[in-house]
Structure 1
Amino acid sequence: MSDVVTYTRDGDIAVIAVNNPPVNALSHAVRKGMQDALRKFESDPEAKAAVIVGEGRTFMAGADISEFGKPPQEPWLPELVNEIEACSKPVVASLHGTPLGGGLEVALGAHWRVAQPDTRVGLPEVHLGILPGAGGTQRLPRVAGVEAALDMITSGRHVPAAEALEKGIIDAIDDSGDPRAAGVAFARKLLAEGKGVRRTGDMTAAGHDPALFDAWRAEMKKKSRGQLSPVVCVDAVEASNLPLPEGLKRERELFQKLHDDPQRAALVHAFFAERAVAKVPEASATPRKLEKIGIIGGGTMGAGIAAAALQAGLKVVMVERDAEAAARGEQNVRRNFASSVKKGRMTQEQLDALLAANFQATDDYGALSDVDLVIEAVFETMAVKKEVFAKLDAVVPEGAVLASNTSYLNIDEIAACTRRPQDVIGLHFFSPAHIMRLLEVIVGEKSAPDAVATGFLLAKKMKKVGVRCGVCDGFIGNRILGSYMKAANMMVEDGASPYVIDEAVREFGYPMGPFQMGDLAGLDIGYLSRRDRDATRDPADRYAAGFLDRMYEKGWIGQKAGMGFYDYSQNPRSGPPNPGVMPLIEEERKKLGITPREFSKEEIMRRYVAATVNEAAKVVGEGIALRPLDVDMVSIFGYGYPRWRGGPMHYADHVGLDRILADIREFEKEDPRFWKPAPLLVELVESGRKFGDLNNA
């Protein structure tokens, strides 16, 4: 036996226990230890049945991520699962915690399965760009039926024990709280009832229908927006009508196809980057107390932040300018919970009780006298922000964190109007704040490490991805957004259709194009932002927003007005192109003396990608983002960048930095100011390195 797997007997029941903290990952040592234990069980004349159990907090939670990218060592997991299933005496898997991926595949190889009530099972490999490669696509349909297997495997969702029992994935739920005892008791019951080996591979997968698979493939192609793994998972499950050896062979072929595709590397990068992004210089600081927060403003953003905080178990005080506005703010918070009530996730009574116990809406700043952190979410102008922070400075207790939800304003300037700049940080939420997972944590020049650590603690409590940002106009996300939006605007002025640009960007994998996004956010926001910058704009820079100004003047500001680039008169969320936009753009081109030319989708994306990567390289080079991976996480979680491409920095490495720099050099001939290459990008190309090399520096 190995150090991580033990073989003992409880009378005539063999117990094979895995102890590989923290989650009993299926490392090589675990696989080899389990194989040795199984062979000992087979040759043990006094053992009539075996129980596989995990010590600690879970059964087996899947593959050992430390082995990702390394050559596999025998026994491979598929071989081990086959060996479990081939045992001549009954094998019981006793589950608890989160048997995911390979952990569930091990359980499916066992002949019987019992679980604790809080167990959650799943096959989440699709999120890593692969499919369950140890028989999951072949055995799950045999125990749960084809449709249930398609749902679980293509979504990667975690299924609770009660649902798993209903679907036939497990055979019983035991509430003893002792997985080892539960497994032994279940095995003894099997023996007493004369039940022995029941191999999953001998079962028939119910519900096979070619039309069903065609429908699932079409749906996955539509939903995945270019990601391969959900579609290929459907192909793999379809093979479950074959005899098990043939189905496993087909599964292995499809697994290898996905494994060799660049999407797998991109999704694995995103997986690790999501965890690495919290490794910041302030991580060693002890966060301040965080139990009660204040929110200034009850509009869309303030109410969204309040809902996110309440969901995280925090007490919330919302302050508005008067009693009427405070009442509206509370209604906005209630609206954010409406879908949860409608879908049965909580009752109206539970919502009322939550708000009564943990939420207060008021027009009295004095109600903030005992908060641990306060977030300002008011109108995006420096004068208003300073006025609010002066009031906060007077009433919020010493040691509380003062945060601004600004999306681009200078945190240092805001902090300077208080007596405690060390307590001031930025917390840039993305709308809707109770749904979007990104939270930019902006660190000012004088922000104390423990104040920053408290910002990251808030992100953790809210289950958001917190990304550290330095101070600049737009921080990470909006600064990069401004660059690729300007590239899109310049292409429109030069002859591209905004609708073709939107289409090209969607085909790349974004959920919507830049002009659709503008309609969603409101084109008035960009207009007001441009007016704020009029006094400081360099006249030598190309403006490239005249057609947007004309749209604002006509009241075509997007979805909230019923008209923007698209016509929302029949549907408030989508519609056909606004027929007035192209004539307006053509007039603007004539005014500027521009002879329009055609832009292919390939050229559109070359420019869009180049503008994104070039600005992102400046953001990293200037230290606004700590690492390229921080840019990738901001782009994925805040701006809809396709996760299966890994983020703009990972994608640039895949395409080749030399190729992207060559594009920028070409575009630089047209506009040497906008297309000036980022020094970091030039440096990396000249030294033969990649952005990825900087992630571990």
Structure 2
Amino acid sequence: MSKTAELLNGAAELFPDEVVTEAHVRHLDLPGNAGRFALITLDNGHDHKKPSTFGPQSLARLDGAIDQVEREAAAGEIVGVGITGKPFVFAVGADLKGVEALKEHDQALVIGRGGHDVFSRLGALGVPTFAYYNGAAMGGGVEVGLHCTYRTASAALPAFSLPEVFLGLVPGWGGCTLLPNLIGAERAVSVIIENSLNQNRQLKGAQVYELGIADALFEGADFLEESLRWTASVLKGEIEVVRAEVDRGEAWDEAVARGKEIADGKVHGAAPAPYRALDIIAAARTGDLRQGFEAEDNALADLIMSGELRSGLYAFDLVNKRAKRPAGAPDKQLARPVGKVGVVGAGLMASQLALLFARRLEVPVVLTDIDQERIDKGVAYCHEEIDKLLLKGRVNQDKANRLKALVTGSLDKAGAFGDADFVIEAVFEEMGVKQQVFAEVEAVVPETAILATNTSSLSVSEMASKLSHPERVVGFHFFNPVAILPLLEIVRGERTDDASLATAFATAKQLKKSAVLVKDAPAFVVNRVLTRFLGEVLGSIDEGTPVDVADRALAPLGLPMSPIQLLELVGPAVAHHVSGTLHAAFPDRFEVSANLGRIVEAGKKNLYTYETGKPELDPEVATLFEVGGTVLTEEQVRTRALDAIAQEIRLMLDEGVVAEPQDVDLCLITGAGWPFHLGGVTPYLDREGVSERAAGGRFLAQGVASVPA
């Protein structure tokens, strides 16, 4: 037994739930009498859309297949070796379920070395090797192909990426070393760092070819046949593969520097993975593959044992599993069909909602408002956005025409909503206004119609309290921008019935949103956490801490924006209103900033100016501030804010606002863009000891988003 096989057999017991990917070898005669060829196909035996992954047993299967073709190559029985995947899927990398279970650094090191040992054999067979990217390829699925001599890609390839740094790892089976040596550091940084940190942006087949990762591009319908025909021509010398020369001069250093700027802009130094990847890319300039692979092994092992990686895997699981099976959602069989949607209001938020419903449900959507001018503006917004989709090639002309025809407006609620199945209001955030709107709507809609509110902080139960049928009122809280942020907080009022709730969840799924069931409590989840956190930062400013000091305090978390930037995005008036709502409910914890009130009264929408290229406090805003004499350090502000977040989450869980800490984290990731390396926030609070200090104990058991005990 080889050393690699021994390592993999030893590691297999750490991955008891591994879905084993087989590596089947078959032989065929290449076209044009080019010779006998061995083709390895990766297949995990599940349905075609189930991706193949690489755990220890899967790597061992591939290692065994390479043993076979290596013997055949040495005996002169084959002229080349290819590797491809089952229909529609190539392979998507390491088995992350097993990685989470690793407890020791040496165990993690085995995984890195095992992948390198197996994959690198493809580059040392003595005959040319070919990777045929026939379908989705990510992580190790990309890297196994990088070890081959040549690569082809399908034009139908839907997703190709090295997503590791997004999760808290590095491309550790050759990606950081081989890719820059293949396509240059600039392009490699785009794939490994930039795309990954932009929510794991995927490449299509044509882009893989344009970047120089693939040497040829073929249509999906006959991809393998064309790839084999091309392979025969390469082996016979009829086609010479010419690649662009890699610039190993200053351009390499400039690319690494650009990667660091991207990482700083996204994670602000708070997550180690992108910086470890950049270190390896920088060293890869020499072309020393052995040294590069060793650096990848060490980085992979270190990061596998890190809290950031465990948090990243936890967050990935929340977004890809829990979001698809919302806790507490009623039986979907109770849901009623939605064939027409009404939107009360025609402002920006209402117009965004109308566009989303039309695009995803493809049913008639009618906007109403208090005057025709507003309605016309709202409908025009939807039509203009659809035209933009047409220009970008996201829809064809026929689809654009149909979508625009679905969105209309009317001053007459009775005529507009008389046959609507789902009506959502997005009007001014004031209880009396919303109650009046619902009373008007209830009078004209069918008895089975759902009445939804997009309120961000008001009581859904109180809103429904004066209606004849309060059981059909449900909170349907979107986040701005509606087209981008996936979260939808679905709020069950005191009298909301199961059928209405089931319809809300079914509609959310059609809208392709991540729905979380929340209790009817002030500001629900995201706004409650953010308002408490922001309130502590503003409170420190009110007491005398300089704005720039308070604003930098949370930078070590790597949040998507600073507190003041968040305040500007939300809008001072909205933030002030929500803080007032929460102060009324919880006066002991939520203060209303007098300075923020003065900013709102003065009509200021921004606290910063950017005339010098960097954020600076607007002098007009500065004159509005009245502050005390208590000056805190960044660390003191950060401690204050984190303790407040932990305390508030504990209280929300005790009150039953959501079922579990996982729901809070899912809300913060999908509704506020909080990063994967924090796991939302509770894994970070546990890791840093904040949970025990401020909330009476850990939120998650040891081993959940952390190294097992």
Report the TM-score when normalising by structure 1: 0.84
Q: What is the 5 A alignment of 1:609-688?
A: 609-657=642-690, 659-661=692-694, 681-682=695-696, 684=697
Counterpart amino acid of residue 133 in structure 1: G
Which residue number in structure 2 is paired with residue 442 of structure 1? 491
Q: Distance in 2 between matches of 1:89 and 1:451?
A: 64
Q: Is the 8 A contact 1:94 1:182 kept in 2?
A: no
Structure 1: segments with no counterpart, 5+ residues: 560-564, 590-595, 662-680
Counterpart amino acid of residue 111 in structure 1: T
Post-superposition offset of 1:547: 2.9
Which residue number in structure 1 is paired with residue 608 of structure 2? 566
Distance 1:187 1:457, change over 3 A: farther
Distance 1:123 1:494, change over 3 A: same
Counterpart amino acid of residue 668 in structure 2: S
RMSD after superposition: 3.6
Which residue number in structure 2 is paired with residue 592 of structure 1? none
Counterpart amino acid of residue 546 in structure 1: A
Distance 1:253 1:94, change over 3 A: same
Which residue number in structure 2 is paired with residue 578 of structure 1? 618
Distance 1:389 1:14, change over 3 A: same
Q: Distance in 2 between matches of 1:94 and 1:539?
A: 63
Question: 2:92 matched to 1:61?
Answer: yes
Which residue number in structure 2 is paired with residue 396 of structure 1? 445
Which residue number in structure 1 is paired with residue 15 of structure 2? none
For the residue of structure 2 that corresponds to 1:428, the secondary structure is strand
Which residue number in structure 2 is paired with residue 668 of structure 1? none
Which residue number in structure 2 is paired with residue 597 of structure 1? 630
Post-superposition offset of 1:429: 0.9
Distance 1:159 1:370, change over 3 A: same
Which residue number in structure 2 is paired with residue 251 of structure 1? 296
Question: 2:102 matched to 1:102?
Answer: no
Identity of aligned residues (%): 26
Which residue number in structure 2 is paired with residue 607 of structure 1? 640
Distance 1:407 1:195, change over 3 A: same
Alignment deviations for residues 107-153 of structure 1 (CA, whole Å, 9 cap, x no partner)? 11222222221113211111111110010112222332221111010
Post-superposition offset of 1:688: 11
Q: Is the 8 A contact 2:491 2:517 kept in 1?
A: yes
For the residue of structure 2 that corresponds to 1:475, the secondary structure is coil
Distance 1:515 1:357, change over 3 A: same
Alignment deviations for residues 53-105 of structure 1 (CA, whole Å, 9 cap, x no partner)? 21143111222232222346678222221011212223222222211111011
Alignment deviations for residues 491-545 of structure 1 (CA, whole Å, 9 cap, x no partner)? 23332233321122345423433344333333333445567689x5788788553
Instruction: Give the alignment partner of residue 309 of structure 1, picking from 357, 361, 364.
Output: 357
Which residue number in structure 1 is paired with residue 16 of structure 2? none
Post-superposition offset of 1:317: 2.5
Instruction: Give the alignment partner of residue 482 of structure 2, picking from 433, 437, 452.
Output: 433
Q: Distance in 1 between matches of 2:700 and 2:311?
A: 20
Which residue number in structure 2 is paired with residue 13 of structure 1? 37
For the residue of structure 2 that corresponds to 1:309, the secondary structure is helix
Which residue number in structure 1 is paired with residue 125 of structure 2? 87
Q: Is the 8 A contact 2:579 2:592 kept in 1?
A: no
Which residue number in structure 1 is paired with residue 51 of structure 2? 23
Q: Distance in 1 between matches of 2:595 and 2:700?
A: 41
Counterpart amino acid of residue 382 in structure 1: M
Post-superposition offset of 1:291: 5.6
Q: Distance in 1 between matches of 2:209 and 2:593?
A: 58
Q: Distance in 1 between matches of 2:238 and 2:367?
A: 64
Which residue number in structure 2 is paired with residue 153 of structure 1? 192
For the residue of structure 2 that corresponds to 1:76, the secondary structure is helix
Post-superposition offset of 1:379: 1.2
Instruction: Give the alignment partner of residue 271 of structure 1, picking from 316, 319, 335.
Output: 316
Which residue number in structure 2 is paired with residue 121 of structure 1? 160
Counterpart amino acid of residue 91 in structure 2: M
Q: Is the 8 A contact 2:478 2:488 kept in 1?
A: yes
Instruction: Give the alignment partner of residue 553 of structure 2, picking from 504, 519, 530.
Output: 504
Post-superposition offset of 1:192: 3.9
Q: Distance in 2 between matches of 1:505 and 1:339?
A: 37
Which residue number in structure 2 is paired with residue 299 of structure 1? 347
Distance 1:403 1:540, change over 3 A: closer
Q: Distance in 1 between matches of 2:284 and 2:494?
A: 59
Paired residues in the alignment total 655
Distance 1:143 1:372, change over 3 A: farther
Counterpart amino acid of residue 210 in structure 2: E
The structure whose RCO (Cα within 8 Å, separation 6+) is larger is 2
For the residue of structure 1 that corresponds to 2:656, the secondary structure is coil
Q: Distance in 2 between matches of 1:411 and 1:617?
A: 23
Distance 1:313 1:491, change over 3 A: same
Q: What is the 5 A alignment of 1:82-231?
A: 82-119=120-157, 120-154=159-193, 155-156=195-196, 157-175=201-219, 177-178=221-222, 180-193=224-237, 208-226=251-269, 227-231=271-275
Question: 2:323 matched to 1:285?
Answer: no
Which residue number in structure 2 is paired with residue 557 of structure 1? 604
Report the TM-score when normalising by structure 2: 0.83
Q: Distance in 2 between matches of 1:181 and 1:352?
A: 36
Q: Is the 8 A contact 2:343 2:366 kept in 1?
A: yes
Post-superposition offset of 1:426: 1.1
Which residue number in structure 2 is paired with residue 47 of structure 1? 78
Counterpart amino acid of residue 211 in structure 1: E
Post-superposition offset of 1:257: 4.1
Alignment deviations for residues 388-438 of structure 1 (CA, whole Å, 9 cap, x no partner)? 223333443454432110111122233344444443321111122222232
Post-superposition offset of 1:440: 1.2
Alignment deviations for residues 552-574 of structure 1 (CA, whole Å, 9 cap, x no partner)? 34x14323xxxxx3358x69x98
Counterpart amino acid of residue 638 in structure 2: M
Post-superposition offset of 1:336: 5.0
Distance 1:397 1:89, change over 3 A: farther
Post-superposition offset of 1:258: 3.4
